[in-house]
Amino acid sequence: MSPVRIGPNAHVTLDYVLRDEDGEVLDDSRASGMPMVYVHGYGMIVPGLEAGLAGLSAGDARDILVPAEAGFGERDEELVIEIDRADLPSPDLEPGDEVTAEGPDGDEVTLVLVELTDDGAVLDGNHPLAGCVLTYAVEVREVRAATEEEVLAAAAEFGEAGYDAPLPGEPPPPALVQLGRKPS
């Protein structure tokens, strides 16, 4: 019997080490004791990683290079705003603190306080990893068919399989590079 491969509606458990362009470790699932668990094809993880995992099976290990546009997006300087310091929700906030606000569409957005001046504050609505090229060193622990409940939960939370991950045997998108490696 051939191994179950990652594809639409696969329930996947994997370990990963996330590094930035300089090789600095940003996250390590083994160190945290929290493997990544997701249902493939619903955009539960960044598109470049999801595409790079397609076709892998339990025991496979890869380094997956995810450019900014296939990860957390490019930085958008329009998301960096300056406000009056008096408009901050608390006078005790410091750079690095998160602030929630209502976005233009009425949804709640999270901004990071970047800088305080005498009378102003600079807030950044970009994801902290926006604009970064990332490398995920992954080792797939388990791949199985997702249960109906898992698929319904993924669809309810993230929308109907809107991300079209390549099927096994199809090449990954051109912006994505996979480098083979042996499991550690």
- Residue 154 lies inside a defined structural domain of this protein: yes
- Averaged pLDDT, groups of 10, the chain, 184 residues long: 91 98 97 96 94 97 96 93 91 92 85 93 94 98 94 83 44 42 41
**DSSP designation for 166:** P
- Residue 3 lies inside a defined structural domain of this protein: no
Residue 108 belongs to what domain range? Answer: 77-124
Residue 101 contacts residue 93 (beta carbons within 8 Å):
no
CATH value at residue 84: 2.40.10.330
Residues written for the chain: 184
- Residue 112 lies inside a defined structural domain of this protein: yes
User: What's the pTM?
Assistant: 0.78
Q: What is the pLDDT of residue 161?
A: 52
Q: Are 68 and 153 part of one and the same domain?
A: yes
Q: Which residues pair with 10 in a beta bridge?
A: 145
Q: How many structural domains compose the chain? A: 2
Q: What is the pLDDT of residue 150?
A: 92
**DSSP designation for 58:** T
